């Protein structure tokens, strides 16, 4: 069924006249009559009773008119929704983000983006960096924030936006608290609050400890930096956090110490899968965050 034929038929039904319908649609009467006749031939039914002086709908014509009104309304709504999507006024983005990232500057970025695009829903999935990389690669997430380096770099487009050193946090009464700097080997005799295995920092810490000839004694694993701080504040162990997060901790609860032997920095990047469709909302988010961090991003 041709939408144009349906549109002409609906207008005839509304106007009750081929002549008035032709005037409303700015076409000739013979053209609109032919369109309606073609529609009747296609469907194999009579839609309009032409026997009287005034056109009337048949029972088949009335049924098609009622359905046709809904069809045309749905098409108009779809067109409006597409215009809104293309204009980035509405949509949804699924973004994977490590818990520590949301507590920093990213929360402000999300807030400012929501002010600009209140009808774009941001669905945040809080998991570790390695899990985010896998979910973006498998299409479960459109965009992810990860700790570099990514495992399958060739599969992603990305831009980096922050690089932050890792620091050791200890209780203010801990034996290391009086120092100005700590060493990796200081961890050999400590109970360490470790990140979960789906966090890139988990692997980075293990790699550095192995480099110095020992494996850390893991007290527990967590995905939440505030829980890690609570464990340290309770004198149960030590932990390693990005300097940016350490700077937000209340003074006197724990003490942060730089490390003489640097663990691979907390180097963050936004990633998305190469050669895949990105929604208009996702494209606008990438453009917005890239501009926020002063990065030039060219989306195809």
pLDDT digits (tens, 9 = 90+) for 36-62: 888 888 888 888 888 777 788 888 888
Considering the domain architecture, whether residues 174 and 231 belong to the same structural domain is answered as: yes
Nearby residues of 18 by Cβ (< 8 Å), 6 or more positions away: 12, 29, 32, 33, 36, 55
Lowest mean pLDDT among 68-82, 99-113, 217-231: 68-82
- Domain end, chosen from 86, 115, 133, is at 86
* Residue 131: exposure state from Cβ atoms within 10 A (0-12, 13-18, ≥19): buried
pLDDT band at 35 (very low <50, low <70, confident <90, very high): confident
Sheet containing strand 255-258, edge to edge, reads 217-222, 191-195, 238-242, 166-170, 255-258
298 within some domain: no
- Single pTM value for the model: 0.64
List the domain range (segments joined by +) for residue 278: 90-159+269-292
CA distance 250 to 270: 29
Considering the domain architecture, whether residues 64 and 115 belong to the same structural domain is answered as: no
pLDDT band at 144 (very low <50, low <70, confident <90, very high): very high
Considering the domain architecture, whether residues 142 and 274 belong to the same structural domain is answered as: yes
Considering the domain architecture, whether residues 207 and 122 belong to the same structural domain is answered as: no
For residue range 5-28, list pLDDT tens digits in order: 788 888 888 888 888 888 887 788
pLDDT of residue 76: 65
Considering the domain architecture, whether residues 211 and 78 belong to the same structural domain is answered as: no
Structural domains counted in the chain: 3
Considering the domain architecture, whether residues 252 and 180 belong to the same structural domain is answered as: yes
Return the CATH number at 194: 3.40.190.10
CA 117 to chain centre: 13
300 within some domain: no
For residue range 133-142, list pLDDT tens digits in order: 999 998 889 9
CA distance 112 to 293: 14
pLDDT band at 89 (very low <50, low <70, confident <90, very high): low
Considering the domain architecture, whether residues 95 and 26 belong to the same structural domain is answered as: no
pLDDT of residue 83: 55
70 within some domain: yes
The closest alpha carbon to 272, from 119, 107, 108, 95, belongs to: 95
Considering the domain architecture, whether residues 253 and 173 belong to the same structural domain is answered as: yes
Q: Is the per-residue pLDDT at 65 higher than 60?
A: yes
Considering the domain architecture, whether residues 255 and 281 belong to the same structural domain is answered as: no
Considering the domain architecture, whether residues 219 and 79 belong to the same structural domain is answered as: no
Considering the domain architecture, whether residues 214 and 279 belong to the same structural domain is answered as: no
């Amino acid at each position: 069924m041709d939408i144009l034929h349906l549109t002409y038929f609906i207008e005839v039904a509304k106007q009750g006249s081929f002549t008035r319908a032709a005037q409303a649609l700015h076409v000739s009467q013979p053209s609109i009559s032919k369109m309606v006749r073609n529609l009747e031939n296609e469907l194999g039914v009579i839609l309009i009773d032409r026997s009287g002086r005034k056109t009337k709908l048949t029972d088949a014509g009335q049924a098609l008119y009622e359905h046709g009104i809904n069809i045309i309304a749905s098409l108009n709504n779809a067109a409006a929704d597409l215009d809104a999507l293309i204009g980035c006024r509405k949509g949804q983005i699924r973004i994977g983000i490590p818990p520590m990232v949301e507590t920093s500057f990213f929360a402000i970025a999300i807030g400012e983006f929501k002010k600009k695009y209140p009808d774009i829903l941001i669905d945040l999935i809080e998991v570790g960096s390695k899990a985010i990389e896998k979910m973006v690669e498998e299409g479960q997430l459109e965009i992810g924030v990860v700790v570099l380096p990514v495992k399958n770099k060739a599969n992603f487009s990305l831009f980096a936006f922050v690089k932050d050193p890792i620091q050791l946090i200890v209780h203010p009464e801990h034996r290391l608290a009086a120092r100005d700097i700590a060493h990796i080997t200081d961890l050999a005799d400590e109970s360490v609050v470790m990140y979960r295995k789906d966090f890139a920092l988990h692997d980075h810490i293990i790699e550095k400890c192995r480099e110095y000839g020992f494996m850390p004694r893991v007290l527990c694993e967590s995905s939440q930096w505030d829980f890690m701080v609570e464990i340290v504040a309770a004198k149960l162990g030590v932990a390693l956090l990005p300097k940016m997060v350490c700077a937000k901790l209340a003074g006197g609860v724990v003490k942060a110490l730089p490390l003489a032997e640097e663990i691979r920095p907390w180097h963050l990047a936004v990633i998305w899968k190469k050669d895949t469709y990105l929604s208009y909302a996702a494209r606008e988010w990438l453009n917005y965050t890239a501009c926020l961090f002063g990065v030039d991003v060219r989306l195809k």
